[in-house]
Amino acid sequence: MYEKPALTSDTVVVRRASSGREVLLIRRGREPFAGAWALPGGFIEPFERPEDAARRELAEETGLVLTSPLALIGVYGERGRDPRGWTVSAAYVALVGGDAPAVLGGDDADEARWFAADELPALAFDHDMIVADALALLG
């Protein structure tokens, strides 16, 4: 029998603002990392496609419903990235333009907010690495 990881999906939503790029973050309402800023995301339901989970979690945690394409940034599964145990995340990036879409924390997120990409707060898990990879992918 093989060990099985938990599977999650995270989304980096980037907005091109006149002042530069912005990234959408949520403030976690639950442990681990309660009160810390993180990417919208969460556990994938049984037999749910990772991209569908990314869209679902984004809508649940921020109120933002995206119909635009998501691009896979990568798959993250380093030991210790989640204190709850072996967790692998499929991470996606979405680019939005225009005025900042209204967002509001929901589900297990206490708050949702846009941050300047070059002035991000400390992030939970390994989300700083995921955001850096997403911004590099976008160029």
- The amino acid occupying position 29 is G
Report how far Cα 50 is from the mean position of its chain's Cα atoms.
12
Residue 126 backbone dihedrals phi, psi, to 5 degrees: -110, 30
Active-site residue set: 111
Task: Note whether 39 and 14 are within 8 A (CB).
Answer: no
CA neighbours closer than 13 Å in the CB half-sphere of residue 40: 34
